[in-house]
């Protein structure tokens, strides 16, 4: 696997291989109020020890009322820094680079987190129970942007090699980017440039304090809501100064057709979008979704279809995925049983010891 195990330099950071652990929330692991627990540390440490070059710690919330679940990890207070520092150090000790995904759920905050949800627009058809939705004022927007900046500063203080803005999967940043959930008529809505203003203003402020050792990553929807739009979003992010793009899914809707994946392309739609975006930008791109076997990952890097490849559920079931790939040892396969998915106990993964 010569390509998968070649190093890559992002800013000043040399990452030892192209294997990424993508962010995956471990429900039930964090302590009260989003504090890092021993279980969180052991979970990431095992994947770093198992050889993954880059670990992106799960969606960690920048504001109490923006959590996607009441047991989500937090980075909204200086008090979170100490536990997060132990987590970053545990990964770096084993030679992994480590970013942390910073996040706000917007419309998708559950009732036990926020009685009234905050969103770009009053898009109540997008949430499944009768919740009050408050359209963010410009003042609210500035406050949440500052919450992202403060969270990134805490991540830097906690020793992370950078942050990843969670701009995918229909959470707040994605809700701004998407014409499906953003119906604003001010400077934060309407044209794509306006819809991206929320994110771009955050990125510009991050650039003011991020030195050469601190990476600014962004997870975006490759189909937000179309691939053409995804490509435009990627270019806007590149121009704004994002240094690492991670292409996953956006908010889709039947009104917006999905791209046809060519028959000869060996992976799924999400990976395809990532590879198309990779061909249109000059910053490193991580692709993800359904990549289970080292040969799949090697093919994508070898053919310059991706700079890095994220292996999510594959690394949940087998923390040693990367080292086993390197030595040609047998990897425990993900059984696609979905027991690791939302709001369930990650320990139910049948491969876990
Ligand atoms: C249990 C679980 C939790 C997840 N949590 C997050 C998250 O915190 N942030 C995020 O951007 N994606 C999250 N995802 C999506 C993964 O990062 C990844 O994109 C997805 O699992 C597809 O990759 P895979 O087929 O390699 O698992 C999660 C996925 C799983 C299975």
Between CA 308 and CA 299 the distance in angstroms is 11
pLDDT tens over the chain, length 353 residues: 999 999 999 999 999 999 999 999 998 899 889 999 999 999 999 999 999 999 999 999 999 999 999 999 999 999 999 999 999 999 999 999 999 999 999 999 999 999 999 999 988 777 766 788 999 999 999 999 999 999 999 999 999 999 999 999 999 999 999 999 999 999 999 999 999 999 999 999 999 999 999 999 999 999 999 999 999 999 999 999 999 999 999 999 999 999 999 999 999 999 999 999 999 999 999 999 999 999 999 999 999 999 999 999 999 999 999 999 999 999 998 888 888 876 566 677 877 65
Closest by alpha carbon to 340, among 22, 86, 92? 22
Ligand 1 center–CA 101 separation, angstroms: 12
Whether residue 1 lies inside any domain: the answer is no
Return the DSSP state at 163. Answer: E
* 353 in any annotated domain: no
Q: Which atom of ligand 1 is nearest to the CA of 313?
A: 27
**Alpha carbon distance 118, 140 (integer Å):** 9
Active site residues: 171
Instruction: Please report whether residue 16 resides in a domain.
Output: yes
Taking phi over 0 as left and psi of -120 to 50 as alpha, with beta for the rest, 316 belongs to: alpha
- Provide residues with CB under 6 Å of ligand 1: 22-25, 58-59, 101, 166, 168-169, 219, 248, 288-291, 311-314, 340-341
Number of compact structural domains in the chain: 1
Task: Residue 118: give the domain boundaries.
Answer: 8-348
Q: What is the pTM of this model?
A: 0.97
Q: Which of 24, 44, 224, 321 is the best mutation target for the ligand 1 pocket, counting ligand atoms within 8 Å of the beta carbon and taking the most?
A: 24
| Ligand 1 atom 15, closest CA | 24
Tokens representing 320?
């040693």
Give the CATH number for residue 191. Answer: 3.20.20.70
């Amino acid at each position: 696997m010569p390509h998968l195990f070649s190093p890559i330099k992002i800013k000043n950071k040399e990452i030892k291989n192209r294997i990424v652990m993508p962010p995956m929330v471990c429900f039930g692991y964090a302590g009260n109020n989003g504090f890092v627990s021993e279980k969180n540390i052991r979970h990431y440490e095992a994947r770093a020890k198992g050889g993954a070059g880059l670990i992106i710690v799960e969606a960690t919330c920048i504001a109490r009322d923006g959590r996607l679940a009441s047991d989500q990890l937090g980075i909204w207070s200086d008090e979170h820094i100490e536990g997060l520092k132990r987590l970053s150090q545990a990964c770096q000790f084993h030679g992994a680079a480590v970013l942390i995904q910073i996040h706000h759920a917007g419309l998708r905050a559950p009732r036990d987190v926020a009685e009234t949800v905050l969103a770009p627009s009053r898009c109540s058809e997008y949430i499944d129970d009768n919740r009050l939705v408050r359209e963010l004022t410009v003042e609210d927007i500035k406050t949440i942007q500052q919450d992202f900046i403060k969270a990134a500063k805490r991540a830097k203080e906690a020793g992370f090699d950078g942050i990843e803005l969670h701009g995918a999967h229909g959470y707040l940043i994605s809700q701004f980017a998407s014409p499906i959930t953003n119906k604003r008529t001010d400077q934060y809505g309407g044209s794509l440039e306006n819809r991206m203003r929320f994110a771009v203003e955050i990125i510009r402020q991050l650039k003011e304090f991020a030195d050469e050792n601190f990476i600014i990553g962004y997870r975006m929807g490759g189909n937000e809501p179309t691939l053409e739009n995804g490509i435009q979003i990627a270019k806007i992010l590149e121009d704004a100064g994002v240094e690492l793009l991670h292409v996953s899914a956006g908010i889709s809707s039947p009104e917006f057709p999905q791209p046809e994946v060519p028959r000869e392309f060996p992976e799924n739609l999400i990976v395809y979008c990532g590879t198309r975006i990779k061909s249109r930008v000059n910053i490193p791109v991580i692709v993800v979704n359904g990549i289970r076997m080292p040969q799949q990952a090697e093919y994508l890097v070898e053919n310059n279809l991706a700079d890095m490849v994220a292996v999510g559920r594959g690394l949940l079931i087998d923390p040693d995925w990367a080292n086993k790939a390197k030595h040609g040892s047998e990897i425990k396969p993900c059984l696609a049983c979905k027991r690791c998915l939302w709001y369930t106990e990650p320990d139910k993964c049948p491969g876990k010891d």
